[in-house]
Amino acid sequence: MKTLHLNSQDNNAIKTAAEILKNGGLVAIPTETVYGLAANALDGEAVKKIFIAKGRPNDNPLIVHVSSLEEIEPLVEKVDPRLYELAEKYWPGPLTVILKKSALIPNEVSPNLDTVALRMPSHECARKIIRAAGVPLAAPSANSSGRPSPTKASHVVEDLDGKIDAIVDGGESDVGVESTVVTLATDPPTLLRPGGITPEQLTEVLGEIQISSAVYEKLKEGEKVQSPGMKYKHYAPSAQVTIIKGSFEQYKRFLLAQKDKVCAVCFEGEGVHFENYIEYGKENDDASQAHKIFDALREVDATNCKRAFVRCPVSSGVGLAVYNRLLRSAAFRVIDLDIKIPVIGLTGQTGAGKTTVAAMLKDKNYAIIDTDLLAREAVKSPEVIGMLCEKFGNDIIKDGILDRRELARRAFATKEGSLALNEITHPEITRLAVEEIHKAHENGAKAAVIDAALLFDSCLTAFCDKTVSVIAPEDERLERIIKRDGLSAADAKLRINAQPPAEYYIEKADIIINNGANDDLSSQLSQI
Ligand code: TXA
Ligand code: MG
């Protein structure tokens, strides 16, 4: 299908768009929140086409857009007086209200529900098109399902060109995130999706409201590991997104410690510190962040980075909507770098006695975080499993459980395979390590110790206040490994040779602990 590109400034654009809609076609229209993909809301067949063009799950209901209050009455079972109160204050504008629907609403609009979502957009062009079409318009955001919502006509072109009848370019969407959705069908009313109208503004009119848990938490059904390819992602670029809480200094240190090419999604003026960056709005200005966030998420992929780290937005006002969208694009992955206890990175040569040192620190009320255990934990995450399956084949899952031996067999067969395994698991290990540090603080530990064989090859050093290397003479280490692991002298030697030399550990660490037969460990620990 050839998609007609119209400009809202052109004389005939509104008329042409309205004609297409009246004839059961699809037109992407600008609104003040995001671009919408519109069809005649009273024509079930036309509405069906929306789901096909977007690749949208059939059971996700659509919002019906009107241009005046008079259009509401026929669409609902009974007009709730609170709707008029809300409308008086916030319509036209970024607010959607859900009420019991009338028989006029075809099932396709809100499949298997007895309600309908209603909104009167404030964008002049959107209102003119609704008026000219003479019917209410069902319109979800005009993106391919799962992608960031479109705030420019060019975003719609990226996703839907060739799949819909026309796109009307009406400039950049002002608000930048989708409307606030509130339902009056519950008591008290429930905020289902935060947006341009804040919870405080709703309370002003409605009194008490409840906030749906889905605003902050992922859906329960997604927590099962049954289907590896399953995604909680929404609004997501191809790159993996992680939200980073904490100061800019903490963010910067963490990003600069990453070993692979990553994209910084940060606030205005911060980008210069990074090789790849996209800025979205000003640090303390929620409206500017909302305006730019979807565009920024779309730009991430142009940097060719596999991972993006987003500075956490303010979470009040419209910022709540920005945070909510980011949580979804990040599949709920958040790292809080605002760490409240000292963190020590502990590493060392094999057989040098890193574990002994860890045990002694544990006796002093230091929490020990064993990254080997975290690595086992990391491969339980559904998202990690999904990525592992994509890379190494779906049959690494046997009876719904990850077969770790099979995974190891495939991954370690080639150098490329082991690198890929690390690339997939390390970010999750890092996230878990930070979580453990926060837990250690809550549990009253004096400090947290990250025990990691590959400490200096990881980004974990970014939150270590001090790093410690444990070393010992080679002959003693050899003897210990033979005894501890029941290896032959030759195999033990191989293992030792696979690691970097002592100089590597000495050069990189702040503190060196010598653990030869004649060294006194406890006196050396006082350095820590
Ligand atoms: O700002 C906006 O709301 C944009 C512009 C185009 O108006 N539209 C938009 O539509 O964001 P969409 O389809 O991407 O999101 C509609 C949201 C979905 O989360 C949907 O589940 C919810 O509204 N929704 C629609 N009708 C509903 C109903 N009857 N009950 C519960 N939720 C409903
Ligand atoms: Mg949408």
Query: Is there an atom of ligand 1 within 6 Å of 236 CB?
Result: no
Nearest residue to 402 via CA among 391, 417, 414: 391
User: 240-336: which CATH topology?
Assistant: Rossmann fold (3.40.50)
> Which helix or strand (DSSP H or E) is residue 471 part of?
strand 466-471
Residue type for 238, please?
Answer: S
DSSP assignments along 140-159, one per residue: -BSS-TTSPPPSSHHHHHHH
| Averaged pLDDT of the chain | 94
Position 318 pLDDT exceeds 90: yes
pLDDT digits (tens, 9 = 90+) for 41-96: 999 999 999 999 999 988 889 999 999 999 999 999 999 999 999 999 999 999 99
Nearest residue to 396 via CA among 253, 225, 526, 244: 225
Shared fold status for 240-336 and 343-525: yes
Please provide the CATH number assigned to the domain covering 4-215: 3.90.870.10
Burial (CB < 10 A; 0-12, 13-18, 19+), residue 58, is: exposed
Query: Is there an atom of ligand 1 within 6 Å of 138 CB?
Result: no
pLDDT digits (tens, 9 = 90+) for 124-161: 999 999 999 999 999 999 999 999 999 999 999 999 99
88 touches 204 (CB < 8 A): no
Compute CA distances 474 → 272, 273, 352, 436, 480, whole Å: 45, 42, 9, 33, 10
User: 343-525: which CATH topology?
Assistant: Rossmann fold (3.40.50)
Model pTM greater than 0.75? yes
Find where tokens 């006002």 sit: 317
Query: Is there an atom of ligand 1 within 6 Å of 176 CB?
Result: no
Candidate from 31, 51, 59, 63 with most ligand 1 atoms within 8 A of CB, to mutate: 63
528 touches 522 (CB < 8 A): no
Position 19 pLDDT exceeds 60: yes
Compute CA distances 375 → 104, 174, 213, whole Å: 55, 44, 30
**Domain extents in the chain:** 4-215, 240-336, 343-525
Q: Cα dihedral angle (101, 105, 109, 115), rounded to 10 degrees?
A: 10
Ligand 1, atom 32: closest residue by C-alpha: 61
pLDDT digits (tens, 9 = 90+) for 208-233: 999 998 888 776 654 433 333 334 56
